[in-house]
Structure 1
Amino acid sequence: MLRKKTNGEGCKVIKNIIFDMGNVLAKFDTARFCASRVRSRRDRKIMQREVFASIEWSRLDRGVITHEEAIASIQGRLPEKLWHYADWLVRHWYDHFEPDQTIERFIGALKKKGYRIYLLSNAGFDFYKFKPSLGALRWFDGEIVSADVHLLKPDRQIFDALLNKYALKAEECFFVDDMSLNVEAALNIGFSGMIYRGCVRDLAAGLEKAGVSL
């Protein structure tokens, strides 16, 4: 668990808990997603690399490229037999987004304790298509989605966008994300936080160590 303390004042007073989305609020397994359509193991690896680890994917998350532009660019690197897979994966990736009901209940309990809950996610405009399926979001007080602000974690500016939009203080925020670079970025601007590895029990322990009442 990663957190910071104020100088000589012990643990910070946490009032706001900020969650990432993919592999926190919902499971997103790109290998499994590719395997649902692509039979060849070799081709699955190609699709994972050329779609989900691509510049085009980052640009979709940043909100500066359309599906059509992303697909055309990705297809330009692929043999023609894989073009239809690229098209389908880009347009339907959220079909394999699996909301986590355990963390949904946990967030509900945090909300009932009086904590304010926010979303900070790298996600394209497709977010608004599957947003209604994420039951946990009913507990949230606000959100920053990368495509809307044309910024990506771990850029400091996206954290500043969250703080400014909701008038939050970094030292009163605890950030939960599955990526170490994103958590480190949050710590560097004064947040507390931890890397989420899929275990709500570990998350509860980390929050309690930071002074969150559960």
Structure 2
Amino acid sequence: MQPIVRPEAVVFDVGNVLLDWNPAYLYEKLIPGGEEREWFLTHVVTLGWHLHQDRGRSCADGIADLSKRFPGSADLIAAFYDRWLETIGGPIQGTVAVMEQLRAAGVPVHAITNFAAELWPVTVEEYPFLGEFGEAVVSGEVGYVKPDPRIFDALVARTGRAPGTMVFIDDRTDNVDAARQLGFQAVHFTTPEALAADLSALGLPVSAPAADAALQA
């Protein structure tokens, strides 16, 4: 059994780790009918379509392309980005508290996020704690998305740290697996409570009582 190596830095995903993100939050306001809304989210503003913007296509081009295919839904499609902040339910307070514990203890904190380049500054302005990362690798700025190894390589290049000295946190298992294959330590995020326990087990200064208290916020 290999000994546990305490990470020197922690790398966070953003969506559904630090921010509660779900396009349904917006479309519940715009499409009252549940079945109609579910169809729209599943067949029109799909995650696959959104990923093109995360990879670097402009939101305007994404809206225009999709509106050609669904001209009757053009206004609803445009709302996805025009009202972007309404797709976010707010911070996941427990995870933010864990991140702040790490920063307060002097542990470098970074981010790798699939995020459209033009939406990132708007979101950071709304949630200033996202501006506190040492390095934030934003997919729309670099042109490739997780789990592409190149986005992880970009963080390694920026920080000068070997992958094995960092622990990466993500809610998607494919991204966690990709990080591990590149040599990162990695944690699959499920809840802030479990994250605090996982990081503490790696020797990081996230104490259980403090984490528990933070997660009640």
TM-score for the superposition, normalised by structure 2: 0.86
Q: Give the corresponding residue for 1:45.
A: 38
Following TM superposition, by how much is the alpha carbon of 1:79 offset from its aligned partner in structure 2, in angstroms?
5.3
Q: Give the corresponding residue for 1:84.
A: 75
Give the 5 Å matches for 1:75-154: 75-78=67-70, 80=72, 82-97=73-88, 98-125=90-117, 126-154=119-147
Q: Percent identity, please.
A: 24
> 2:208 matched to 1:208?
no
Following TM superposition, by how much is the alpha carbon of 1:118 offset from its aligned partner in structure 2, in angstroms?
0.2
Q: Tell me the amino acid that sits aligned with residue 93 of structure 1.
A: W
TM-score for the superposition, normalised by structure 1: 0.87
The separation in 2 between residues aligned to 1:120 and 1:130, in whole angstroms, is 15
Check conservation: 1:20, 1:177, Cα contact below 8 A: yes
Q: Tell me the amino acid that sits aligned with residue 112 of structure 2.
A: L
The separation in 1 between residues aligned to 2:201 and 2:61, in whole angstroms, is 46
Following TM superposition, by how much is the alpha carbon of 1:9 offset from its aligned partner in structure 2, in angstroms?
4.7
> 2:16 matched to 1:20?
no
The change in CA–CA distance for 1:13 and 1:106 in structure 2 (over 3 A counts) is closer
Unaligned runs of 5+ in 2: 207-217
Check conservation: 1:67, 1:91, Cα contact below 8 A: no
Q: Give the corresponding residue for 1:61.
A: 54
> 2:186 matched to 1:184?
no
Check conservation: 2:7, 2:164, Cα contact below 8 A: yes
The separation in 1 between residues aligned to 2:67 and 2:165, in whole angstroms, is 45
Following TM superposition, by how much is the alpha carbon of 1:139 offset from its aligned partner in structure 2, in angstroms?
3.8
The separation in 2 between residues aligned to 1:60 and 1:94, in whole angstroms, is 16
The separation in 1 between residues aligned to 2:131 and 2:71, in whole angstroms, is 43
Q: Tell me the amino acid that sits aligned with residue 202 of structure 1.
A: A
Deviations 1:88-118 (A, max 9, x none): 1132222232123332222111112221000
Check conservation: 1:104, 1:135, Cα contact below 8 A: no
Deviations 1:15-38 (A, max 9, x none): 110001111111012223221211
Unaligned runs of 5+ in 1: 1-7
Check conservation: 2:168, 2:179, Cα contact below 8 A: yes
